[in-house]
Structure 1
Amino acid sequence: MLPSLTIIDDFLTDPWAARRAALALDYAQPGSGGNYPGRDSTCSLPMDGINASVSRRVGIEFTGAKGTEHGHCRLTLKSDKGRSGVHIDPAYYSGILYLSRPEDCARPGAGGTDFFRHKRTGLERVPTNGAELASSGYDSLDELVEDVVNRDTMQPSRWERVMRVPMRFNRLVLFSPWQFHNAAPGFGTDADNARLVMLLFFGRAGD
């Protein structure tokens, strides 16, 4: 079974080069794409080395999950708002690589990654097998996702934050995409001091 959460500090050999490359990408206009706050890059950074490194650490050969923005970067300013909140990811495994400057990561409450418990059901993730699904009281995963995630994604009072992984420059966070999670709030006023991350959505090679 994959670890539900793994934190790897000092992941890249040259994180400043990765940051410069991320900032050099073209970014979509705010609100032009998904439900998230901020702007995603219109293309990805080269990913072969990261895919291989994560595959070695986890013991499973990974590739980018189909239909996702694997390897794209996201800029989120303090003023950015989204159309969704707590969510799950359409992937086999997820990751976030923090590329904000060290001094920006050190700000109080700087935008790491938050994990939640759904108050009404007590769930912290979507069930991963039939027994867990049966004990949840739902007949199908689709029913559960619709009633829990889609219904309450933008209702903060219906969630309890159970953990925040703090942002740290060159920190890679790997986690189960079925856990209820969300980005902590963005910060900064421009690209240089904004929340900057690389998004990683892994699939198993050969699937």
Structure 2
Amino acid sequence: MSFALRMPPDVQSVTIGSHQVLLIDDFLEDPQALVEAACDAHFKPCPGADEGKGYPGRRATAPAAYSQSLVSLLEPLIRVNFGIDDTLPLRKTPCMFSLTTFPPERLGPLQRIPHFDSSAPRYMAALLYLCDARHGGTGFYRHRATGLQRITPDTVERYGSTVRAELAARPAPPRYFDAGDDRFEFLGMLPAKFNRLVVYSGALLHTACVNPRLSISGDPRQGRLTVNTFVDF
């Protein structure tokens, strides 16, 4: 099965806080074909989720044909827009379908606050929404105590120790994070939109803004279905 990209892509650049985020609407010519592939996929619990870490749900490998179509656009798009040297090789994780399946009361302490994927300077996330705006979006934040929006190798230890101390003093309530609080300043959200691709630095503090009344489902046709991919240079 082919998962052709709609060409030419309508690339939009959005500044959230002090960092750039890209989005492309109407990304695939036939996004419903990818939904059907998800319905046929074998979803498994995300590693670490039962211990209160990582993605709070289930994942399955997306088709290789989608992965090939994605990389054909993603590599030059990221290099041009984020100023990455052509001599640096691209490394990519598998493309994974994701479904949010944990109710708020099941979330671990670190799943209740914004996170970052990696402090590596050129680690990028590409998220394709196969659900609509009723399922929330992706929120971005600044940690108030440290002033950090983006975590780097030089700041990761300071950030981690500060957050651990904050959680030890006062645990976060069992909820999916969305609006800011006295620890994390809300900078903006990119709403979910069916067939929208979002590309951003994995070092940015962010979270999935989830509608627990609607989005907690293992059914790809009903739940918060996304395709997650990470690339590094």
What interval of TM-score do these two structures reach, taking the shorter chain for normalisation?
0.7 to 0.9
1:88 corresponds in structure 2 to 116
Q: How many residues align?
A: 180
Query: Given the superposition, is the C-alpha separation of residues 51 and 77 from structure 1 closer, same or farther in structure 2, using an over 3 Å criterion?
Result: same
How many angstroms apart in 2 are the aligned matches of 1:32 and 1:171? 29
Share of identical aligned residues, percent? Answer: 28
Tell me the secondary structure at the aligned position of residue 69 of structure 2.
helix
Q: Does 32-41 or 14-23 show the bigger shift? A: 32-41
CA drift at 1:82: 3.1
Tell me the secondary structure at the aligned position of residue 210 of structure 2.
coil
2:230 corresponds in structure 1 to 201
How many angstroms apart in 2 are the aligned matches of 1:182 and 1:149? 15
How many angstroms apart in 1 are the aligned matches of 2:208 and 2:96? 15
Q: Does 23-32 or 172-181 show the bigger shift? A: 23-32
Q: Are the counterparts in 1 of residues 127 and 227 from structure 2 also a CA contact under 8 Å?
A: yes
Tell me the secondary structure at the aligned position of residue 125 of structure 1.
coil
Q: Are the counterparts in 2 of residues 38 and 74 from structure 1 also a CA contact under 8 Å?
A: yes
Corresponding residue to 2:187 among 146, 162, 183: 162
Matches within 5 A, 1:135-174: 140-148=154-162, 155=172, 157-174=182-199
Query: Given the superposition, is the C-alpha separation of residues 22 and 48 from structure 1 closer, same or farther in structure 2, using an over 3 Å criterion?
Result: same
CA drift at 1:148: 4.3
**Which structure has more RCO (C-alpha within 8 Å, separation ≥ 6)?**
1
The answer as to 2:149 corresponding to 1:119 is: no
Between Structure 1 and Structure 2, the one with more strand by share is 2
2:54 corresponds in structure 1 to 35
How many angstroms apart in 2 are the aligned matches of 1:124 and 1:150? 17
Q: TM-score, normalised by structure 2?
A: 0.67
1:164-197 Cα distance to aligned partner (Å, 9 max, x none): 1000001000001111001111515451211000
CA drift at 1:106: 3.6
Output the amino acid matched with 1:40. R
Tell me the secondary structure at the aligned position of residue 4 of structure 1.
strand
Q: Are the counterparts in 1 of residues 136 and 192 from structure 2 also a CA contact under 8 Å?
A: yes
2:3 corresponds in structure 1 to none
1:133 corresponds in structure 2 to none
CA drift at 1:22: 2.0
2:91 corresponds in structure 1 to 63
The answer as to 2:17 corresponding to 1:17 is: no
Q: Are the counterparts in 1 of residues 117 and 203 from structure 2 also a CA contact under 8 Å?
A: yes
How many angstroms apart in 2 are the aligned matches of 1:17 and 1:182? 27
